[in-house]
Amino acid sequence: LSDERESTENDEVFNWGKNDFSPIKNKANINEKSSRKSKIYITENYLLNEKETRRPKIQPGNRSYASATKYGKKVMVIGDSHIRRIRRDKFNNSIENAKSYVKGFEGAKVEHMKYHIIPMLKEQQPDIVILHIGSNNISFKNLKINPLEIATSIVEIAQQCCSYNVNEIIISSITVKKSIRLTSIIREVNDALESLCLSRKFHFIRNDDITPDHLTDGVHLNEYGTGILASNFVDYINNYVFDNSY
């Protein structure tokens, strides 16, 4: 996301009260299985270890690609900085019969992602793509933005993926911000996105379990918000994509 920290001095702020969904309510049992399989790895277990070395790219000709093919489908998660802290190893352990590649572009808007995604589609050759983009298009600098235009631009990127033989495309809803005005726009974009996905037979994830309690500065996800987002991705892949499509 953009380095800009959005001010809420002249804007109302959501008062959500105590969050009922608390991924750290019982931290000692955080790795116990629940009815939703991906909760095994929620919160900090999904976060990128800052000391962790960079892993090689999964592409034809190297061992990582061969390993991904051996384990089943290849999942590519691409988006803004909300997804940059997701740990790929824990994410992989949660997905059934698949390996993943996670890439976040800090500050990238939808129009930028149209260019970022093409070389990645060529290199990774994924079977499944998850798109989590659009948040950087919604800011106090651009309050007159048309929600349908943003939603349409995101769906256009999903259509780009189709031309690279991606089998399943999942669009993740834009997560909330602390500002009421911005979140109102976000909800309009998400409603338009869901409608467009339905008409074009793309998958759609609503991240309604992420609230302002899961933000660090009114914009960016904290570690628990990141864990919930990653969990939503895994749940959808395991329970809807694989169960119904493969």
List C-alpha distances in Å: 170 to 56, 64, 211: 25, 23, 21
Specify the pLDDT at position 28: 34
Q: Kindly tell me if the per-residue pLDDT of 245 is higher than 80.
A: no
Q: How confident is the model over 9-34, as a mean pLDDT?
A: 36
Q: How confident is the model over 150-161, as a mean pLDDT?
A: 97
Say if CB 138 and CB 87 are below 8 A apart: no
Q: Kindly tell me if the per-residue pLDDT of 140 is higher than 80.
A: yes
pLDDT tens for 91-114 read 988 988 888 999 999 999 999 999
Specify the pLDDT at position 235: 94
Say if CB 84 and CB 48 are below 8 A apart: yes
Q: What are phi and psi of 87, to 5 degrees?
A: -80, 120
Q: Among 8-12, 148-152, 207-211, name the one with the lowest average pLDDT.
A: 8-12
Specify the pLDDT at position 241: 80
- Edge to edge, the sheet with strand 98-104 lists 98-104, 73-79, 128-132, 168-172, 203-205
Enumerate the H helices of 163-222 as residue ranges. Answer: 180-200
Helix, strand and coil percent figures for the chain, each rounded to 5 = 45, 15, 40
Specify the pLDDT at position 22: 31
Q: What is the pTM of this model?
A: 0.74
pLDDT tens for 39-69 read 434 444 545 443 333 334 444 444 454 455 5
Q: Kindly tell me if the per-residue pLDDT of 154 is higher than 60.
A: yes
